Amino acid sequence: MNAVIAGNLEQAYQIWKPSQSYSFNDFVEDWGANGYYGPAKSFRIAKRPEHRTGGSGVVIKIEVSPYDPFPQDDDQVKQAKTKEVSLWVEFKDQSISFPLE
């Protein structure tokens, strides 16, 4: 997420280690300045991941904000623009994707 926040989407896409079905254009549509989660200026982990024995990865919930620094919990105006996203992190190669529902 630090690469996304810094605006380095090419580096962020490489860190993501996407499958061939998730193109760089798809990534920009999600994370770019005009993307679904953009503009992303700060983030925080919303819920610590729970590691389950035998699982191949973990779901991490993060909150993404268009404000820097991340808004305080009592700032309802800025918090209203915060988006929560779940990300799947695969243990074997640290690849990131959206979890299957």
* Residues linked to residue 63 through DSSP beta bridges, in sequence order: 44, 84
Q: Residue 101: what pLDDT? A: 64
Residues lower than pLDDT 50 in the chain? none
Q: How many CA atoms, within 13 angstroms, populate the side-chain half-sphere of residue 63? A: 18
Backbone angle region of 4, left / alpha / beta, with phi > 0 → left and psi within -120 to 50 → alpha: alpha
Q: Residue 46: what pLDDT? A: 92
Q: Residue 87: what pLDDT? A: 94
Distances (CA, A) of 69 to 9, 43, 51, 54, 84: 20, 9, 29, 37, 16
Q: Residue 55: what pLDDT? A: 85
∠ CA 64-83-17 to the nearest 5 degrees? 55
Q: Does domain 2-97 have CATH number 3.10.450?
A: yes
